[in-house]
Amino acid sequence: MAVESMNRSERFETAFNRIHKALLKTVRGARSDKFTDLVYKGKSHGFIRYYEPDLCQFAKLRNAMVHEKIDQDYYIAEPHKDIVEKIESIADEFEKPPLALTISTKPVYFFYESDQLKDVLDIIKKQSHSTFPIYNAKEEYSWLLTASEIVKYLADHFDEDKRELNRVKIRELYSTKHKRNITFVSQNATVFEVEDIYEEYQKKNRKLSGVLITRSGDPGEKPNGIITSWDLLEAEISE
C-alpha cells in the first residue's frame, strides 16, 4: 500500500509538472512563472478558465505534498487515485490542445469579386451562413463580406428592377467603411493561438472579425475554416 501511495504521489507530481510546463509555454505576460499566477493570467483562454477550479486545487495539494515532504520517498499528503487519474487526463489535454480547425465554421463559402451577388444570396438561403471571404482576380484574399452589408445594399437599392439586382457583381458591395480586420493561421494552429490573437486585438481596442484557417496560413490559399468570437464562445459553452 505504501508503494502504491508513493507511486500515486509521483504520478501526481509528474502530471502537475507537465501542466506547469504547458502553462509556461502558453500563457503570456504573467507576473511570474508561479503555477497559480499562470492560471490566473491564462484565464483569457477558455480552456484554462474551464479547468481553473481543478488547477487551483491541484496547486494546493501539490504544495502540501512537496513542502511538507519528510524525505525523498515519504509524503504527508497522498492524492486519491481518482485525483491522479484526473490530473493526468488534464495534463494530456494541456499538452495537446485542440486545433483551431476543430471549432471553426466549415466549410467556408468564399467568392470572387467577379461573382454575382445572387450566388451569395443562394448560399445564405440554403446554408444560413453570414460571413463570406472575397478573393480577387489574383486568387488572393481581398475582403470580408457579411450578411449585414448585403442587407444594407439591398435596402439602399430596394426600388431597382429585380433583373438589375440579379446582375450585381460582388465587387459593387465593397466599401472602405466596412473594411474588416481578418488574420490568417495555419491548419496546425491551436485554439490557444487563436485566443491569443483575439486578446491582442482587444488590447489594442481593435475589432477582429474573424480568423481564417488555410493550409499554411497564407492569404493566397483558400480557407478551410473560419473562427469568429462566437465560435470561441460556443466552444467554451460546450466544454
Range of the domain at 116: 102-237
Each residue of 186-227: pLDDT tens digit? 999 999 999 999 989 988 999 999 999 999 999 989 999 999
Q: Are residues 89 and 204 in the same domain?
A: no
Interstrand relation of 210-214 and 182-186 (parallel, antiparallel or unpaired): parallel
Q: Are residues 115 and 88 in the same domain?
A: no
CA 181-186-190 angle, to 5 degrees, is: 95
Q: Are residues 74 and 159 in the same domain?
A: no
* Bond preceding residue 107 cis, omega within 30 of 0: yes
CA distances from 130 to 74, 148, 151, 154 (A): 60, 8, 11, 15
Quote the pLDDT of residue 127: 86
Q: Cα–Cα distance between 125 and 135 in angstroms, integer?
A: 21
CATH of the domain at 201: 3.10.580.10
Domain boundary among the residues 94, 129, 155 is at 94
* Total domains, the chain: 2
Q: Are residues 109 and 63 in the same domain?
A: no
Q: Cα–Cα distance between 66 and 71 in angstroms, integer?
A: 10
* pLDDT < 70 stretches in the chain: 1-6, 67-77, 163, 237-239
Q: Are residues 19 and 67 in the same domain?
A: yes
Q: Are residues 226 and 113 in the same domain?
A: yes
Q: Are residues 155 and 228 in the same domain?
A: yes
Domain boundary among the residues 75, 94, 113 is at 94
Q: Are residues 111 and 205 in the same domain?
A: yes
Q: Are residues 87 and 9 in the same domain?
A: yes
> pTM (2 decimals)?
0.77
Domain boundary among the residues 94, 122, 141 is at 94
